[in-house]
Chain A
Amino acid sequence: MAKTKKAKAIYIWDAVRSINGSVFRNLHEDIDSLLSGGKIYFFLLIMGFLMVYAAGMFGVNAVNMGYREAYGLTREASWGLLISTYIFFVVTSTGLCIVSSIGHVFGIKQFMPIATRAVFVSIVTIFAGFSVMLFDLDEPLHMIYYMITPNLSSNIWWMGALYGAYLVFMILEFIFLLLKKHKPAAYLGLTALIFGISAHSNLGAIFGMLHGRDFWYGPYMPIYFIASAIMSGCAAIVIFTWLGYKINNEKIDKQMEKALQSVGKLAALMIAILIFFEIWKVLTGLVGGEDKRLAIFSMLDGRYAFNFLVIEILIGMIIPFIILIKSRFMNMNKLFYASILMIIGIFFMRYDLVMIGQVVPVLHGINVEEFSGLVSYVPTIYEIAISIGGLGIAIIAFLFGEKVFKGPFKGHKFGIDPLEKVWK
């Protein structure tokens, strides 16, 4: 008994020492490295701070004014840009978790070099998402009732609880990855993946289980959310890896290049799957009841047509797909540009999903004057600023992460070899 206690103590001490040793080598050095970097690093850093600053100003103002005045939300359109931005971030986070797990949980070799960075960015993006969400909730302190009187039949409750657990396991996984303890990291990664997928499909089910809303109702949403999360994760990891190498003024090495090529192939596959999804979403909607048809028409030639057809489909899926296939996944810059387009498309995909579901008033079917038209919503400057602030938080945290965890992010040098042993 005593022996195991001692062994545990030594283990913990080792862990602490190795964090000190390998990660926070020296506080001075770290601060120096945070303040040194190329043009791109400082440009992004300043942009990030400006975004967060602006968001902070607008956010504080919005809290003072009251959200009803500050946001463009109405009784009929009660979810807007903030919710869709929140979904965008957590989709990306879940996607990164899934993509990273391919390598270091399931042992597919090509995906291993991206794992550590993917886990880190996944934590960063979910924090960004939560901070945006905070500005949508009127009484975040009442979240205490999550514990006191939980409603176990509510998807929102499950989403919150599961994302909480997901976040804890992701952070633990990241710590163990830094400690080079790859076996526990892989198990923690698997646990985080299970929680992440459950949480994310619950987020889809929040929409899918609203049976008064034809556009969302059905089993489609949770599946669609997971599929689009993988695409989102692929795009995000390409962007952040590319930027990571750029700001450290390094050239992407062979192993990382191979990893990114595999990610690119996965992204192309997911685009194909999502286009298939979209086609059937439109076609099934066109033969449905009038409410659903109206929603679909608003995507095809109504007020969301530009968002859907041009940004979501053309810019977010078709053009990146063509770029990926034409470059044969070989050219890292093209991969990066395709990923940027994909991420823009995915952002609008979330916005369209949230807004088109609300575009037809719930009482449209009873043919009254009050609900004969479609619901309009325009995000206010407050909502836009707070959403951009979320991006700012993600950028700053990512940049600092690149500096602090510079070593670990170069997966193959730092941790891939012991990882391979785990799976042999």
Chain B
Amino acid sequence: MITKMERREFLKLGLAITGVSVGGGFLSVVSNLKGAFASTEEYRKKYPYKPHYTMLIRQNRCIDCGECMKECVKTNNVPGYGYRTTILERYEKNAIGLKREFIPMLCMQCNNPPCVRACPVEATYKDKRTGIVRMHYEKCIGCKTCILACPYDARYFNDERHAIDKCDFCFDARLSKGMKLPACAKVCPTKARVFGDLSNPNDEVFRIVHQMQKAVWVLRPEVGTKPNVFYTTSDREVSDEK
């Protein structure tokens, strides 16, 4: 038998839950209003990885020379039929002034990576220290679900490795061996690709991502993957060597 008191308690509990969820909803709207920056409030407060590797692409500086792609192929043994990084091209016939722009693309090393969730055998994983989305090539069964899960077309099947291959910010080939930059960022002649660490407030990339004067954006934000590759147009000089 349910007493009156119990019923009252139960209703109170229900009201409390409703209140919390309505309040939470309201708060989340407020934080969304503030979040006109590239990375939302929660990400600017806290970067979960150390170093939190990131890449800033200064899109207007890319001249489509393709050096990054060539160096990537050389460094990571990328076969002819695939790519880890590429340069996309946008052409606007009716644009005033420049009619063409180039968009360098690579794995976005998402904080919320759909590919990692999709993989049945944990062959692809988010590196706990650096936040890079990496591969255990020896585990991959070749089901290709991660390719379909990726909203950025950043993955391809590598016949030679018998596994999916993807950009890892050159972690295996360079960063883990003590080098500071991925191959593409190193060779870019116009410094369109700036590699950095978001957990360090003095880092160039941190400072550009955390300003309001120039727009900074990510690709396909609507998917909610929270990418770690940011795009901007910037003429600020960036120091040549890190």
Does B bind A?
yes
A369 within 8 A of B: yes
Cα separation A66 to B79 with both chains bound (whole Å): 14
For A367, the chain B residues whose CB sits under 8 A away are: 90
Q: Are B163 and A149 in contact, with the CB atoms below 8 A?
A: no
Judging by beta carbons under 8 Å apart, are A369 and B119 in contact?
no
| B91 and A369 within 8 A (CB) | yes
B208 at the interface (CB under 8 A from A): no
> Residue of A at shortest CB range from B81?
A68
- Taking a contact as CB atoms closer than 8 A, the residue among B90, B142, B150, B224 that contacts A362 in the complex is B150
Report the minimum CB–CB distance from A370 to chain B (whole Å).
Answer: 5
Does A24 have its Cβ within 8 Å of any Cβ on chain B? no
Chain A residues with Cβ below 8 Å from B114 are 210-212
Distance, CA A78 to CA B157, complexed state (A): 9
Cβ of B73 within 8 Å of any chain A Cβ, yes or no, is no
Is there contact, CB below 8 Å, between B151 and A362? Answer: yes
Which chain B residues (75-120) contact chain A, with CB distance < 8 Å? 81-82, 86, 88-91, 103, 105, 114, 117-120
Contact of A157 among B105, B120, B219 (CB under 8 A): B120
Contacting pair B90 A145 (CB below 8 A): no
Is the beta-carbon distance between B120 and A156 smaller than 8 angstroms? yes
Q: Determine which of B122, B144, B148, B149 lies in contact with A151 in the assembled complex, contact meaning CB atoms within 8 Å.
A: B122
Residue of B nearest to A83 (CB): B144
Residues of A contacting B89 with CB < 8 Å?
Answer: 368-370
Per-position contact with A for B130-149: 1 when CB-CB < 8 Å, else 0? 00000000111111110111
Question: CB within 8 A of B82: which of A66, A75, A145?
Answer: A75
The A interface, classified by DSSP as helix, strand, loop or mixed, is loop
Q: Which residues of A from 122 to 177 have beta carbons under 8 Å from B?
A: 136-140, 142-143, 145-146, 148-151, 153-157, 160
Q: Is the CB of A212 within 8 A of B149?
A: yes
> Contact check: which of A68, A140, A210, A362 meets B153 at CB < 8 Å?
A362
Enumerate chain A residues within 8 angstroms of B91, measured Cβ to Cβ: 369
Cβ of B156 < 8 Å from any Cβ of A?
A: yes
How many chain A residues touch B (Cβ–Cβ < 8 Å)? 43
Which residue on chain A has the smallest CB distance to residue B124?
A151
Return chain A residues, CB-CB under 8 Å to B148.
78-79, 210, 213, 358
Residues of B within 8 A of A363 (CB): 88, 105, 152-153, 219-220
Contacts A75-B153, A153-B117, A157-B120; A142 near B88 (Cβ below 8 A) = no
Q: Is the CB of A368 within 8 A of B88?
A: yes
Q: What are the residues of chain A within 8 A of B225 when measuring CB–CB?
A: 212
Against B, the Cβ 8 Å flags (1 = close, 0 = not) of A21-51 are: 0000000000000000000000000000000
0 or 1 for each of B150-186: is its CB under 8 Å from A? (1 = yes): 1111011101001100000000000000000000000
A27–B163 Cα distance when bound, in Å, is 46
With A66-B159, A366-B219 given, can you name 13 additional A-B contacts, CB distance below 8 Å? A67-B159, A75-B82, A75-B157, A138-B162, A142-B141, A145-B139, A154-B119, A156-B145, A358-B148, A362-B151, A363-B105, A367-B90, A368-B88
* Chain A residues within 8 Å of B, Cβ to Cβ: 66-68, 75-76, 78-79, 136-140, 142-143, 145-146, 148-151, 153-157, 160, 206, 209-213, 358, 361-363, 365-371
15 A-B pairs, CB-CB below 8 angstroms? Answer: A68-B157, A75-B156, A138-B142, A139-B142, A145-B121, A145-B139, A145-B141, A154-B120, A210-B148, A211-B223, A212-B152, A362-B220, A363-B105, A363-B220, A369-B88
Lowest 5 A-B CB distances belong to which pairs? A138-B142, A212-B151, A145-B121, A157-B120, A368-B88
